[in-house]
Amino acid sequence: MHPATPTDSETAQQRFDRLYITSSEICRSLGVTRTTVLQARRRKLLPEPVAVNGCTLYIWERHTAQPFIDAWRVILSTRRRFFAEQRAPATAVPA
């Protein structure tokens, strides 16, 4: 099924959730703040969003944004792992 093709039993909300991703969902998925998502948008780490209500709400077409989100997830995971290793206490090396 093409992403935009509705199914007979699909509600409008289900169709929206299938086709679009909101900044709130990106925040929850990646564990970042809305400010971080908006900064990422400005830095072109996300594709251009659909601006709703005079740009107070941003949504993205899910199929367009997902590769960007997946790449961002890898970067965040690597960065978080690096900083966690830096904060971990050094273990004593046996003599």
Tens digit of pLDDT for each residue in 39-93? 999 999 899 998 887 777 889 999 999 999 999 999 999 998 888 888 877 665 6
pLDDT band at 2 (very low <50, low <70, confident <90, very high): low
Q: What 3-state class would DSSP assign to 59?
A: strand
Q: Mean pLDDT, to the nearest integer, of 10-14? A: 94
pTM recorded for the entire structure: 0.73
- Give CA–CA dist 33/24, Å, rounded: 9
CA 53 and chain centroid, separation: 21
Cβ contacts of residue 75 below 8 Å, gap of 6+?
A: none
pLDDT at res. 56: 73
pLDDT at res. 71: 94
